[in-house]
Amino acid sequence: MAHPRYLLPVFRASLLGLGMTCSSLALGTATAQEATADDAALTSAGVTRNDGESQGAAGARTAAADLAAGKDDEPHILEAPAPDSRRVYVNDPAHFAAITQQFVIDGDDGRVIGMTDGGFLPNPVVADDGSIFAQASTVFSRIARGERTDYVEVFDSKTFQPIADIELPNTPRFLVGTYPWMTSLTPDNKTLLFYQFSPAPAVGVVDLEGKKFGRMLDVPDCYHMFPTAADTFFMHCRDGSLAKVKFAAEGEPEITHTEVFHPEDEYLINHPAFSTKAGRLVWPTYTGKIYQVDLSSGDAKFMEPIEALTEEERSQDWRPGGWQQVAYHRGSDRIYLLVDQRDQWRHKTASRFVVVVDAKTGERVSKIEMGHEIDSINVSQDEKPLLYGLSTGTSTLHIYDAESGEELRSVDQLGRGPQVITTADMG
Amino acid sequence: MNSAMKARSILAALFLATTAAGGAMAQDKVSVTTEAAVAATEVPADAVVVNIDKLKYETPDLTVKVGDTVYWVNKEAMPHNVEFVKGVVNEGGLKGPMLKRDQAYAITFNEAGTFDYHCTPHPFMRGKVTVE
Ligand SMILES: [Cu+2]
C-alpha cells in the first residue's frame, strides 16, 4: 500500500511479467486462479462448454482478444466457483509417496479448478453441503523421516485456504492405502472421526467447529467409521458384526454389536459405499455379492443381500476389482460396481466394466463398457448423475453419463497414482 | 574410510551400551531374558509358557509370582510378538522381536502389577500378565 512512488514502475513491470506467466499457466493446466476469470471470459466470448473447442484454445482466443482490445492483464488470485454437485475431488496417494496432491475438478466441463497438497497417505473428506473439505494428513520433519506430525486441515471450499489446522497428539493416524471411510465426517459436519490401528483399535474425535482435538475412543477390533449422528457411528468388526458406537464428551463410549451378518470366508472389500444422507451402507464381497445395511434409523437393518453378477457371469470368472469398486446413487437408489473377468486374487487390478444394479430389487439396470482400465468409480449425486471412472495407471479421470454410459470428457495428468474420488451429496 | 569405520563401530558400541543400560534401568518392571527370539527347544521344561496359535495367546490371562520368567512360544507360521505400550513395564514401551514358528521369547517380571500386552501387527491379539 505504501510503496514509495519511485518503485512503482518496477513493481508494475514485474507484475506484467507475472501476468504473462499466469496466462501461460492458465492455458496449460487450469488452476484455481483461472477458473472464475475464465468462466467470465468464456461467457463474454460466447463460448459454450462441450462445443469441441478446448479450454486452452478458448483461453488463448480470449487472451488474444483482450490484448487486441488493449485490455490490461491484472494478475490476481482466483477463487474456485461455488461448490456444486458436479464438483469432484480426486486424491492421489501417489503410490505411497511422502507428499501427495488432491485435484478439485468441475465434472461438468472437466476442468481442474484447484488443488490441495497433502502429506503421507492423507484421508480426504468433503462436507455434503459443500461448505468445507478437509483431510487428515501426516508430515515428517525431514521429508520421510524425523519427527512425525499428524494433523487435520480444513479448507474453505472457494478460496482453498486452510481455515483450521488441528494437531493430533501421539501420531495416531492409521497409515494405510487410502480407504475413504477410515476418516469420516459426522452428518452435521462438525466432527471428524479418524481411525487408529496401532497399538489398539481406537477412533479419534476431532472437533472441527471448535478447531481442536477431542479425544481417542477405545473401540473393539473393528474397522471403518460410518457416522449416522453427531454422536454415533458404526464400524465393521473382525467377527463379522457391525458395532454401533455412541459417544459423549467424556466417558467410555456405549458399544453394541449387531448379529454376525457374513461368514468368515466372505471377504468384504475395503471400499464400501456409504451414503450419510440415506444412511445406506453398500458393501460388496470379492464375488460381487452385495450386503446392504440401512442405518437411517440409527440402528442397523440388514437388507436382503443381492448379487451384482449373474450366475453365468460368475461361472465365467467375472468378479469385482479395483480400488473404489462401488458407488451408490441416493436419488435413484442404484449401485455401480466395477467388474471384469479376473482371477480370484486379482481383486485390486483395474476393471473395464461397470454393472448398474437397482439396490432395492437387485435387478441389472445396465452394464457399461468403460473403454479404459478403471480403478475407482463414483457418481455425482444430482438427478442426472455423472459416472466418474478414475484410471490410476494413466492418472486420468474419465467422465461418463451414468445413464447411457457414454464417455463425455476426461481430465488427465492427475498426479502419479490417483485412487480416490470424493463427491458431495448436496441435494 | 578408516575413520568412518571407526565412527561406525563407536556408534554400534554406543547403541549396545544404551540398550544394555535400558534393560537394567531401575524403572523397568521386567528384565528381558532373551533379547532375540530363541528356539522353542531352549525353553526350560518347567518354564511358564504362553503358546501362540491361531492368532491368539492361548493363556491370555496369566498370573505369576514376582521373579517368574514367562516364555511366549509361537506355534504357527504367522509371525507374532509381544508388545507393551509406553508406561506399562517401562517408560519407553517394550516391543519384543517377531517370533517365527517354534521360536520363543522370555521376560522376567520383577514387580507386582498387571501388565497388558498385544501383538504389534495384530493389535486384536491381546493378553495380560498379573504378577503377585
Ligand atoms: Cu500376531
Closest CA to B119 of B28, B58, B44: B58
CA of B71 to the centre of ligand 1 (A): 15
Measured N-to-C along each axis, helices A55-68 and A32-44 cross at an angle, to the nearest 10 degrees, of 70
Q: Which grid cell sits at A136? A: 487428515
Tens-digit pLDDT profile for residues A241-277: 999 999 999 999 999 999 999 999 999 999 999 999 9
CB contact under 8 A, B123 and A238: no
Q: Does A297 touch chain B (CB under 8 A)?
A: no
Q: Does B128 touch chain A (CB under 8 A)?
A: no
- Please name every residue paired with A149 in a beta bridge, in sequence order, or none if there are none: A139
Mutation to test the A interface, candidates B124, B125, B128, most A Cβ within 10 Å: B124
CB contact under 8 A, B124 and A201: yes
Domain that holds residue A224: 77-423
pLDDT of residue B11: 41
CB neighbour list of residue A318: distance below 8 Å, 6 or more residues apart: A288, A309, A339, A340, A341
- Cα separation, A30 vs A62, whole angstroms: 14
Report if residue A13 sits inside a domain: no
Nearest Cα residue in chain B from A200: B123
- Cα separation, A409 vs A405, whole angstroms: 12
Going by their DSSP bridges, the two strands A306-307 and A289-294 should be labelled as antiparallel
How far CA A6 is from CA of A9, A10, A73, in Å, comes to 7, 8, 22
CB neighbour list of residue A263: distance below 8 Å, 6 or more residues apart: A240
- Cα separation, A325 vs A231, whole angstroms: 29
Active site residue A274: no
pTM value is 0.86
CA of B50 to the centre of ligand 1 (A): 13
Q: Which grid cell sits at A256? A: 453394541
What torsion do the CA atoms of A395, A338, A387, A182 make, to the nearest 10 degrees? -70
pLDDT of residue A51: 58
Q: Is the pLDDT of residue B46 over 50?
A: yes
Report if residue A209 sits inside a domain: yes
Q: Which of A103, A120, A194, A353 is catalytic?
A: A120
Tens-digit pLDDT profile for residues B64-93: 999 999 999 999 999 999 999 999 999 999
Which residues on chain A are in Cβ contact (under 8 Å) with B124?
201, 221, 238
Q: Which grid cell sits at A145? A: 523421516
**pLDDT band per the 50, 70, 90 thresholds, residue B35:** confident
CB neighbour list of residue B81: distance below 8 Å, 6 or more residues apart: B95, B96, B97, B98, B99, B105, B119, B120
Report if residue A16 sits inside a domain: no
Q: Which grid cell sits at A9? A: 514502475
pLDDT of residue A18: 38
Report if residue A392 sits inside a domain: yes
Establish whether this prediction's ipTM goes over 0.95: no
What torsion do the CA atoms of A262, A266, A267, A271 make, to the nearest 10 degrees? -50
CB contact under 8 A, A199 and B83: yes
Distance from CA of B55 to the nearest CA of A (A): 12
Can you list the domains of chain B with their CATH numbers? 30-131 (2.60.40.420)
Q: Give strand ranges (E) for chain B.
A: 30-32, 38-39, 48-53, 56-57, 61-64, 69-74, 83-84, 94-95, 103-109, 113-118, 126-131
Going by their DSSP bridges, the two strands A254-257 and A232-237 should be labelled as unpaired
Which residues on chain B are in Cβ contact (under 8 Å) with A235?
none
pLDDT of residue B33: 83
CB contact under 8 A, B118 and A199: yes
Report if residue A3 sits inside a domain: no
Q: Which grid cell sits at A183? A: 476418516
CB contact under 8 A, B123 and A197: yes
Is residue A12 within 8 Å of A3, Cβ to Cβ? no
Interface of B with A in 2-31 (CB under 8 A): none
- Cα separation, B80 vs B86, whole angstroms: 19
Nearest Cα residue in chain B from A222: B124
Residues of chain A with confidence (pLDDT) below 50: 1-50
Q: Give strand ranges (E) for A232-333.
A: 232-237, 242-246, 254-257, 273-275, 280-284, 289-294, 301-302, 306-307, 318-320, 326-329
CA of A224 to the centre of ligand 1 (A): 21
Read off the CATH number of the domain in which A161 is found: 2.130.10.10
CB contact under 8 A, B124 and A199: no
Q: Provide the number of structural domains found in chain A.
A: 1
Reported as half-sphere exposure (CB side, CA atoms, 13 A), residue A175 has a value of 16
Is residue B90 within 8 Å of B25, Cβ to Cβ? yes
Tens-digit pLDDT profile for residues B117-128: 999 999 999 999
Report if residue A368 sits inside a domain: yes
**pLDDT band per the 50, 70, 90 thresholds, residue B27:** low
Does residue B123 have a cis peptide bond before it, meaning omega lies within 30 degrees of 0?
no
- Cα separation, A67 vs A73, whole angstroms: 8
Is residue A222 within 8 Å of A201, Cβ to Cβ? yes
Distance from CA of A255 to the nearest CA of B (A): 17
pLDDT of residue A20: 36
Report if residue A305 sits inside a domain: yes
Report if residue A116 sits inside a domain: yes
